[in-house]
Structure 1
C-alpha cells in the first residue's frame, strides 16, 4: 500500500464500528479526529505509541449545524495536517410498528442518520477540496435494500445515505473528492455483543448468514482503512455491501 498522510474526521468515532475505523486509520498512518457527543477517545490499547498520538477526540453533536461547523473548523489545526477524508459513521436505530411509530422519532432517525451525512460533508467540503485528492466514506446499512418489519425509519435513513453518496460522488468528482458508501450487515460490537450472543438470535444468524454469523467491527474498520490507501480516482459513488452474503441469499 502507498504511504498516506493527512487527517480523517470520523463521526461517532468513540465506540462501536466508529472506534474500529478510527484505530485502523491511525494504524495505517493517518491522523484521526474522533467526533462524538461524549468527546471520548476510543480504546487505543491495540495501537503503538506513535499511532496513539495520531488520534484525538472532540465533542460534537452531528445533528447541530453550529456544533459541526465549529468542530470541523478546529480540525486542521489539531495536527497541522491537511484534511484528506471524512467518515460519516454516527447514527441511531429506533424501531417500532409503522402504523404507530411516532413521527418525531422518524424525524430523529432521519436527521441523525441521513441529514447529518450531508451536513458533515458540506462542512468538510472546502477542506477536502484543498487537499486535491480526498475521500468521504459513509456508513450505511444493508437494510437500505430490504423491507424489515418495524424498521421503516432506519431503512429509509440508510437508503438516503446511499442516495446522498451517489449524488455527492457525481457533483464533487471534479474537485478530487471520491464518495463511497459501506453497507454493513449484522456486525458485533461492544454496543450489541450481549444481544447478538443471545441464544435465539445467534442461532438465527448462523442459519441466515451464508458466512456463518455476524461480522466484527474490525471487518469494517479494515475496509475503510484499505479504501484510504487504494490508489486511483475512479472508484466512487458505489455502495459496498459487507453482510456475509445475507442481503443476497435466498
Structure 2
C-alpha cells in the first residue's frame, strides 16, 4: 500500500461537490490528486494542512472531448511527479423533462457527459493504470440507475450505463491489475443543491422518504471512495455500492 499511496489519482469534476470531497479525502491519505474541471479550479482545501494542500493540482479539461482528455494524460504523470494509480469518474450533468418532448440534444449531452466520458477517461488512463500493476477506477453513478423516475429518462439511462460499463471494464481489465467499482449515491447535499434540498416541502419529503432521515453529505461519498483506495489488490471489483440512506430499497 505504501507504493500506491505515493501515486496520483485523477478526479473529474474535482473542484466542487462530491468530486471536491473525494479529492480532499485522497489528499489526506497522501495521494497526489489531479482535480479535473472545465475551469481548472482547485477545491476548497482550507481544512487541509499545507502538505496535503500541496498534493492537490487543478487541471483544466473538457472530459467530453477526446483530444482534450488525451492531451491532459500525455503529460500528467510528469506534471504530478507521480505514477497514475487511480481514476475517479465523477463529473456529470443532470437535465430533466418530459420524455415525450425531451430534446435529443439534451439527451445526448447527458449521455455524453455522464457515460461516454467514463469510457474516454478510462481509455486514456488505461496505459498508466496497467503499468502501475495495482490500480483502481471509481465511477460515480446514482441510485437512479435502478429506478423509474418521471422526467429523468436521460439521467437514469446514463447512470445505468455507468454501472454496466463498470462491470464490463472490471471483467476485461482484471488481468491487468485494474479494479473498477461503481459508487451509486442517493440524495447528497452539496453547495450546488443545498438551498433546494432545504426548501420546506422537499426537505420534509426527503426526511420522510429516506430511512436514514434525510440527504447524505459529500463526505459520505468522499470517505468511501478514499477507503476503496486503501484496499490495493482487493478482490472487490465490478460491484455497485449504493449509498442512499436506504431509500432505493424502502417501500
Residue aligned with 1:213, SS: coil
Distance 1:75 1:51 in 2: 19
- Residue in 2 that maps onto 1:171: 172
- Residue in 2 that maps onto 1:110: 111
> Could you say what the CA RMSD is over the residues aligned between the two structures, in angstroms?
0.7
- Residue in 2 that maps onto 1:79: 80
Deviation at 1:230, TM superposition (A): 1.7
Distance 1:128 1:26 in 2: 19
- Residue in 1 that maps onto 2:58: 57
Distance 2:72 2:161 in 1: 24
Runs (4+) of structure 1 moved beyond 6 Å?
none
Higher mean C-alpha displacement, 93-102 vs 65-74: 65-74
Distance 2:17 2:79 in 1: 23
Residue aligned with 1:202, SS: helix
- Residue in 2 that maps onto 1:98: 99
- Residue in 1 that maps onto 2:159: 158
Structure 1 alignment gaps of length 5 or more: none
- Residue in 2 that maps onto 1:238: 239
Deviation at 1:231, TM superposition (A): 3.9
Structure 2 alignment gaps of length 5 or more: none
For the pair 1:70 / 2:43, whether they are aligned, the reply is no
Q: Would you say how many aligned residue pairs link Structure 1 and Structure 2?
A: 249
Deviation at 1:79, TM superposition (A): 2.1
- Residue in 2 that maps onto 1:88: 89
TM-score (norm 2): 0.98
Deviation at 1:73, TM superposition (A): 1.5
Deviation at 1:157, TM superposition (A): 0.1
Deviation at 1:233, TM superposition (A): 2.8
Distance 1:164 1:231 in 2: 21
Distance 1:36 1:9 in 2: 11
Residue correspondence of structure 1 range 164-243 to structure 2 within 5 A: 164-243=165-244
1:18-42 CA distance string (max 9 Å, x none): 0000000001110000000011000
CA 1:231–1:65 in 2, change beyond 3 Å: closer, same or farther? Answer: closer
- Residue in 2 that maps onto 1:124: 125
Distance 2:93 2:145 in 1: 14
Distance 1:158 1:38 in 2: 24
Distance 1:233 1:46 in 2: 30
Tell me if the contact between 2:134 and 2:233 (Cα under 8 Å) persists in the aligned partners: no
Distance 1:191 1:140 in 2: 18
Distance 2:113 2:20 in 1: 18
Distance 1:5 1:221 in 2: 19
